[in-house]
Amino acid sequence: MLLPESETIALRPGVLGPPVDCPVRWHRSSRARRVSLRIDPRAGEVVVTLPMRAGRRAGMALLTTHAAWVMQRLAALAPAVDLAPGAEVLLGGRPHVIRHDPAARGGAFLDGATIVVSGRVEFLARRVKDFLRDEAKRRITALAEGHAAALGVRIRAIRLKDTQSRWGSCAPDGTLAFSWRLVMSPDWVLDYVVAHEVAHLRELNHSARFWAHVEGLTPHREAAQEWLRANGPTLLRVG
CA separation for the pair 142, 124 (Å, rounded):
27
- Give all strands (DSSP E) within 102-194, no chain letters: 108-111, 114-117, 157-161, 168-170, 175-179
Tell me the HSE value of 200 on the side-chain side, using a 13 A CA sphere: 20
pLDDT of residue 42: 87
User: Which DSSP helix (H) or strand (E) runs through 211?
Assistant: helix 208-217
Strand 94-100 and strand 88-91: pairing? antiparallel
The number of C-alpha atoms within 13 Å of 204 and in the hemisphere containing its C-beta is: 10
Looking at residue 1, what is its pLDDT?
Answer: 58
| CB atoms near residue 102 (< 10 Å) | 10
116 pairs with which residues across the strands? 99, 109
The model's pTM: 0.84
Q: Which of 54, 11, 46, 8 is nearest to 29 (CA)?
A: 54
CA–CA distance, 73 with 45 (Å, rounded to integer): 10
Fold category of 88-235 in CATH: Zincin-like (3.30.2010)
Low-confidence residues in the chain, pLDDT < 50 = none
Between CA 133 and CA 12 the distance in angstroms is 40
Q: Are 189 and 162 in contact (CB under 8 A)?
A: no
Closest by CA position to 11, among listed 59, 74, 76, 68: 68
Which of 49, 62, 238, 42 is CA-nearest to residue 136?
A: 238
What is the per-residue pLDDT across 159-178, written as a single tens digit (0 to 9) for each? Answer: 999 988 899 999 999 999 99
What is the model's pLDDT at position 24? 96
Where in the chain are the domains?
Answer: 6-75, 88-235
